[in-house]
Structure 1
Amino acid sequence: MSDPHLGPTNLATDSANVAVQAEAIHGPVNVYQVEATPSPEVTFAAGLNSLRAGMAPEARVHIGNAVVKGNYVNGHSCFYLLLALLSGRTLQQVPPKEIAMLRRVRGAVKSDDEWAGAIKLVDHLLTSRPTEGGAVGLEQELQHLADEQRNDVLQHLEMFLDSSAEDALWARAFDAARRDRYANDRTHRAWKFFQPEPVGARVRPADPVLIGLGTWTGATATTALALVTVGFIGATAWQHTGAAAVSALLALAAGCYASVRSGAEWRCRKERRQAKDHEYQRRPAATPRGDGFASKIDHQFNHYFALYTPHGADKARWLSETAGVRRALRDEVVTIYRESTVNAEQVAWLTRYLVADVARRWQAGKLRDYRKELRVPLSRKAMCVLAAIAAAAAGAFLVWSGAHVDPVIVSLAALVAMASVWCAARVWLRIATEHKRHSADKAEKKILLAGRQAAFDRWKRKLADRPDDLEMARWLECDRKALMEQAMSLYRLKRQDVLAHAFIEAPATPSYDRARIENGPWRYSKYKILLFLLTKDGVRQYTVHLDFQQATFRSRARTNYRYDAFTSVQVAQTDNGENVFELTLTNGEPIKVKVTDPPTDVTKHEDETPLGASQRTLDTAGLDNALHVLEGVAAEGKEWITFERRREKVPLAEVSKAVNAIFA
């Protein structure tokens, strides 16, 4: 049970370096994957979702297959095929074989198709140049598009807004980003994406009734011997006192039964209280080691017990007095959920509930209320003692009466009877106590399970409006636009001053949460974003840390350098599989950014290829375009912009020709 206004809370102190704090895989979610023999419509839908999630390479494959192989050709599919081919890269990066896809749909779209205007706008955006009235014309065309078409154009053709449009188009993009950045209650929902699918409520099952064969054999033998000897004494006593002996026998049986029954409850309550006392005693916790399930549960309990310190309580006293119960609850959670398919984060909801429950009872002074509940009533003790006294008195009367008939034999039988009755009573007391213990445990477990199930249901309801991956991608795209607008304002740049730009997105160390849907890229709770703005005077690098859940920027850093300051640009893969971007300048330390985490066991099992998740994350991180731009600058310096424009002429003409051929 957690504070509804708080997202995940984490602690990292001193020199701690937490690479990945928590992760979740949501699936199966059929958003970016297709069936073995999918229909063209299903393939296209998967491609469209991939495109909007920033996974342009996957989008090109799916949409291309739907259009070319599946013959799913219409204005809608042709428009998004065009966006997929151009998204996140320059014309230089579009291979001729992909341009050929557009030629295969020659004459597929009529001029009055609802998507025709959007396709023509793309062509105009590619071929236009900043001339008088050019941007106004593009703005008018953009205005006539539907919201869906307009948003997708502004997102995926961002590269071509650099050289083809004036401030008006970017102002529209910035307006849309400001409008959508906090849409759909982002600040109260984004954290839920990083929560794993919780595992259902469980309790440790009640221990079964543990009565061995030897106990049953002993109970049978001693009871039979007691019945024989007491029966003999009773028959002998009947010869002397008649009906009084029968009454004494009945009193003896009733006293033994009542004494054993009340004694079983007495003993059961006492043993349960002692067990609880032992459980609640302070015991030193094992030092968490490694990164296994038990160690993570240890950290959870230590963290939440520290976090949920009751209001106004002394923290040291609280932790000291709850050390035993903390250890007992930790052991239970480890025992009932320790299996290969369960991640510790999936049971964090239960840890929070258990700790909050302990805190509530401790603050109310009810943590040890079990002692009152398990206290044996005085009436029950009195019944047990009086019943035993009555049984003993009845037995003594029978022996006294029988001794008048045959004192020697009755005396010997009395000794055997006393021993057998005593042993039988002890064995039956144990049996009765064990059955009562089992019944009490089952009743307690039922109550515990009901409370945990209610907490689980509350947590599931809380996660019911978890954002999907497409919402996460849209919010991140809006953050990019917001960062771009902020950087341009800081540097006092207009759109025509920016010759080219590139983004790199990476997880922000030292700690962050991450999650993804199956076959999707990793999404992070904290990002480090590098924005490179290429101007006529040099490169402006703007670096920020993004708290994705709250949509806030912090730790801003500005760096400027000349074009001739570049020495090298590369992406290196470390021994553990991390991808690290490295930019080396003539002066200063190299700029290094970890772009992706090393592959995990989860990734290896759930993706088609071991590096599938890492590659998809690289695709969405903007790394390909950043490398294309920065490598070009490193190789050609300031002249790269001019050379790039020249190199674009041939593919530009080919793309424009293919786009115009789409119309019938």
Structure 2
Amino acid sequence: MTAAPAAAANTATGSAFVGVQATTVHGGVHIYVPESNDPAEIFRVGVQCLRGGMPDQARKYIREAVLAGHVTSRSCFLLVISLLSGRTLRTLPKGDLDLLRYVREQSAAQAADEWTEATRAIAHLLDSLAGQELDPNVTIKEFGKLGGTQRHLVIQHLEMFWSGPLQDWTWREVLRVAADGQTSRERLDRVWKFFQPVPAGPRVREARTPEIGVRHRAEAGGGAIVTAGTVGYLAFLASSTSAQVAAVALLALLGGGVLAAWTGLEWRFRVQRRQALDERHRRYRRSGTSGEVFAGPVDRMFRRYFAKYVPRGADLSEWIAGTWAIRMALRDEVVELYRESRVKPEQVAWLIRFLVSEVNGQWRRGTLRSEREALRVPPATRIGCALGALTAAAAWFALAGPAVVERPLAAVAALLGSAVGAAAAVPGWSRIVLERRRFRAEAADAARKYDARRQAHLRWKAKLEDRPNDHEMAFWLDCDRKMLMGEALRHYRLAPHSVVAHAFLEAPGRYYKRARVRNGPWRYTRYELLIFLLTADGVRQMSVQLDLAKATFHDRGRLNYRYDAVTAVEVSEADDGEKTFRLTLMNGDPIEAAVTGPATASEETQEDPRQVTEISLDAAGLHNTLHVLEGIAAEGKEWIGHERRREEAGLDKLADAVRGMADADGK
């Protein structure tokens, strides 16, 4: 396949349309943070960084641990791996060559085991590459004897050092492992959970404390005493005329008053509760506007989920219109409950989905207005209240007539006193009874809602229990990279040994969500992956959009160009910390990819945003990619010859640094 002419134009990648939908930081996870200054703990974190695809961080921690005295056969092996991982011979600094000499001495002092065997195998490989004396079949056989863990680490991290037939064998192994691992560990069912934040706990509006003042208690108590006293006095006066009539009237007054009070309070309670419910539904958008940091995303989530979860058989416009007031009331409640705390909108998404599902179920069952309908005043209550009031009024007049005849002035005074007492007692006692009933009703309603939300919260947490860790995310992403490499080799019909060098570039895809663990790199739901295959004829470039959750490639793009067509390679940084890779071809538009999103960090973890960006660049492999492409831009096709000579010189130095490991007998 021939290279494209130098004047060939190319277009920028789709990263120009990148947009962040959500950001999650799992701040309670400490796999990349040493919890003490103990060398063993620092070494553990270094190993975790190596597994997480961050060789720069791994080198830092493992080097520190070994130099602090944590020297074992395993630590020596992993230090060698970390020093060589993701590097070319040209990028290996002299200080690390000196460190390899130190490791050589320390490794020779370790008892022979699978780790020392693996270290000696690496040394033997590098020594033989420098002398060009090794039969590749011997090396293949030697690495085939290593344990699975050691062999996988060597193949994964030393891919820059394979060449010729050995490179073909290595890539067959790499692609076999990638094909087996790409969808392993239930990836398709678990990846999406990594991007879910820890859900905020369930909350409900607490029942409002009964608002009963001293004035209400005084009115109720004083009015009741005055009323009871004056009515009793009227009954006494009326008994002078006819004791039997007075007794019946008094009993009728008491019975009618109790019936009227009981049914009247029930009537009033239902009316007030219904009015409060209607008012709550009318009180939309008072708990914040859609432009607020918290209220805005919550508002959008409510709109999205109500549009997404339409009851089966329902018309969308009818559903949206019919639930508009309820949606606004629920939205206000969520904003009111969580806005003033350190809760992110994404952490209440589970609650919003649950609330929408409840409304959906009520719609399907035809009970959407059941709460309001349940508060309708029954006819029996209305009739009972009217009957009780009429009975009490009739009995009151029955007592008043004989009393006025018996003692006019005293009876009139008693009548006025009973009226004044009743006017004070009825509102006072109504306030006390209704407020207590309201509180009990609201408390019961809050308890019911809390229990339902708590169950929903527990179900969601249980669903997230098998959330993948960062190591699994790194492993799956590495498998995707290797599968893309295999696809590119097949498409361009290239044997691995015909590829002089290769480089990967990872960038956030279109409309992604992102998440990370503390001090870990950003992981994205969608990636733009670019691979550059450098051959004797030129550069073969392939780009894809990776859906990480589905492990699928989309929107493939391919481009071929000569080495002398590359005019510039650069990484620019925006004010918000976003870094953009740009490769410019002669007379062509630049190839661009935003290799990191905005440099934000979690307030809870108090991390430096710039450090987070550097960690993400380390995991994305940008440093090695820049080294390769910048060499091409500076030297053109001559880069191949120059690089080979530099590698030969570097191999001699590297082989000298590790020479002796291969012959160490162990102790």
TM-score by length of 1: 0.92
Taking a change above 3 Å as real, the CA distance of residues 177 and 298 of structure 1, as seen in their structure-2 partners, is same
Choose which of 62, 74, 77 in structure 2 pairs with 1:76.
Answer: 74
Of 84, 87, 96, which residue of structure 2 is paired with 1:86? 84
Distance 1:353 1:112 in 2: 59
- Taking the TM superposition and a 5 Å limit, the aligned residue runs for 1:597-608 are 597-600=597-600, 602-603=601-602, 606-608=605-607
Unaligned ranges ≥5, structure 1: 1-15
Seen in structure 2, the aligned counterparts of structure 1 residues 104 and 189 have a Cα distance that, compared at 3 Å, is same
Which string of whole-angstrom CA distances, capped at 9 and with x for unpartnered residues, describes residues 136-191 of structure 1?
22322222222221222222112223568231111011000000110000000000
1:289–1:378: structure 2 CA closer, same or farther, 3 Å change rule?
closer
Distance 1:317 1:465 in 2: 39
CA contact (8 A) 2:179 2:479 kept: yes
Instruction: State the one-letter code of the partner of 1:533.
Output: L
Alignment of 1:188-267 (within 5 A): 188-242=189-243, 244-246=245-247, 248-267=249-268
Give the alignment of 1:59-458 within 5 angstroms.
Answer: 59-69=58-68, 71-105=69-103, 106-109=105-108, 110=110, 112-129=112-129, 134-162=135-163, 165-242=166-243, 244-246=245-247, 248-280=249-281, 289-290=290-291, 292-458=293-459
Range moving further from structure 2, 152-161 or 465-474: 152-161
SS of 1:32's equivalent? coil
Corresponding residue for 2:581? Answer: 581
3-state SS in 1 of match to 2:123: helix
Deviation at 1:628, TM superposition (A): 0.4
Deviates more, 1:484-493 or 1:260-269: 260-269
Measured in 1, the distance between the counterparts of 2:419 and 2:137 equals 112
In structure 2, the residue matched to 1:620 is: 619
SS at match of 2:96: helix
How many Å apart are 1:434 and its aligned residue? 1.6
Paired residues of 1:285 and 1:327 also in contact (CA < 8 A): no
Show the counterpart of 2:557: 557
CA distance in 2, matches of 1:405, 1:366: 61
What code does the residue aligned with 1:80 have?
A: L
| Aligned-pair CA distance for 1:396 | 1.9
SS of residue paired to 1:165: helix
Deviations 1:573-629 (A, max 9, x none): 1122111111111121011111111222x4466254231211110101110000000
Partner of 1:11: none
Shift of 1:387: 2.6
Check whether the contact 1:103–1:661 (CA below 8 A) recurs between aligned residues.
no
SS at match of 1:429: helix
Residue aligned with 1:21, SS: strand
In structure 2, the residue matched to 1:522 is 522
Amino acid at match of 1:44: F
Tell whether the 8 Å contact from 1:229 to 1:413 is kept in structure 2 after alignment: yes
SS of residue in 2 equivalent to 1:183: coil
Q: Offset of 1:324 from its aligned partner?
A: 0.2
Residue pairs, 1:434-513, within 5 angstroms: 434-509=435-510, 511-513=511-513
Look up the equivalent residue of 1:257 and give its one-letter code: V
Mark the CA change 1:289 to 1:437 in structure 2 (over 3 Å): closer, same or farther: closer
Deviation string, structure 1 residues 504-532 (Cα, Å, up to 9, x no partner): 101012x1110000111100000001100
The 1:636/1:492 distance shift into structure 2, 3 A limit, reads same
Alignment partner of 1:30: what SS? coil
Task: Identify which of structures 1 and 2 has the higher relative contact order when contacts are C-alpha pairs closer than 8 Å and 6+ apart.
Answer: 2
- 2: CA distance, partners of 1:340 / 1:433: 33
Report deviation, 1:405. Answer: 1.5
- Which AA in structure 2 matches 1:50? C
The whole-number CA distance in structure 1 between the counterparts of 2:547 and 2:594 is: 17
**Pairwise CA distance, 1:282:** 10
Aligned equivalents of 1:491 and 1:61: distance in 2? 38
Code of the residue aligned with 1:81 in structure 2: it is L
CA contact (8 A) 1:68 1:101 kept: no
Mark the CA change 1:286 to 1:42 in structure 2 (over 3 Å): closer, same or farther. Answer: closer
SS of the aligned residue for 1:527 comes to strand
- Partners of 2:287 and 2:332 within 8 A in 1: no
How much has 1:269 moved relative to structure 2?
1.5
2: distance between equivalents of 1:609 and 1:282? 42
Equivalent pair of 2:164/2:497 in contact (CA under 8 Å) = yes
Contact 1:129 1:163 in 2 (8 A): no
Q: Do the aligned partners of 1:91 and 1:648 also contact (CA within 8 Å) in 2?
A: yes
Q: What residue ranges of structure 2 are gaps of 5+ in the alignment?
A: 1-15
TM-fit CA distance, 1:454? 0.9
Describe the SS at the equivalent of 1:104. helix
The amino acid of 1:187's aligned partner reads L
CA distance in 2, matches of 1:100, 1:291: 56
Shift in Å at residue 293 of structure 1? 0.5
Aligned residue for 1:139, secondary structure, equals: helix
1:31 aligned onto 2:31: yes
Aligned-partner Cα distance in 2 for 1:246–1:18: 88
Distance 1:335 1:283 in 2: 12
Between stretches 73-82 and 476-485, larger displacement belongs to 73-82
**1:31 Cα deviation from its structure 2 partner:** 0.7
For residues 96 and 163 of structure 1, do their structure 2 counterparts lie closer, same or farther at Cα, with a shift above 3 Å needed? Answer: farther
Task: Read off the aligned partner of 2:614 and give its amino acid letter.
Answer: Q
What are the superposed Cα offsets for residues 3-51 of structure 1, whole Å, 9 maximum, x if unpaired?
xxxxxxxxxxxxx9662101111132121111243x2222111100101
Residues in 2 aligned to 1:463 and 1:35: alpha-carbon distance in whole angstroms? 26
Q: How many equivalent pairs are there?
A: 645
SS of match in other structure, 1:175 = helix
Q: Distance in 2 between matches of 1:220 and 1:380?
A: 26
Conserved? CA contact 1:163–1:499, under 8 Å: no
CA distance in 1 between partners of 2:290 and 2:106 (Å):
66
Instruction: Report which stretch shifted further, 60-69 or 109-118.
Output: 109-118
Q: CA deviation at 1:99?
A: 2.3
Q: 1:348 to 1:604 in 2, by over 3 A?
A: closer
CA contact (8 A) 1:582 1:592 kept: yes
Alpha-carbon distance in structure 1 between the residues aligned to 2:233 and 2:339: 59
Whether the aligned pair in 1 keeps the contact of 2:288 and 2:335 (CA below 8 Å) is: no
Deviates more, 1:271-280 or 1:313-322: 271-280
> Quick one: distance in 2 between partners of 1:419 and 1:288?
49
Contact 2:194 2:467 (8 Å CA) reproduced:
yes
Residue in structure 1 matched with residue 533 of structure 2 by the alignment: 533
Using the alignment, how far apart are the partners of 1:586 and 1:605 within structure 2?
A: 47
Offset, 1:250: 4.5
User: Which range moves more in the overlay, 342-351 or 150-159?
Assistant: 150-159
Equivalent residue letter for 1:296: P
One-letter amino acid matched to 1:117? E
Helix, strand or coil at the partner of 1:515:
strand
Which residue of structure 1 lines up, in the alignment, with residue 546 of structure 2? 546
What CA distance in whole angstroms lies between the structure 1 residues aligned with 2:411 and 2:267? Answer: 34
Q: Structure 1's 286 and 202: CA in aligned 2 closer, same or farther, altered over 3 A?
A: closer
Q: Give 2:5's aligned residue.
A: none
Alpha carbons 1:240, 1:401 under 8 Å: kept: yes
Query: How much does 1:416 deviate?
Result: 3.3
Distance 2:656 2:18 in 1: 52
CA contact (8 A) 2:287 2:335 kept: no
The equivalent residue for 1:52 is 51
3-state SS of paired residue (1:201): coil
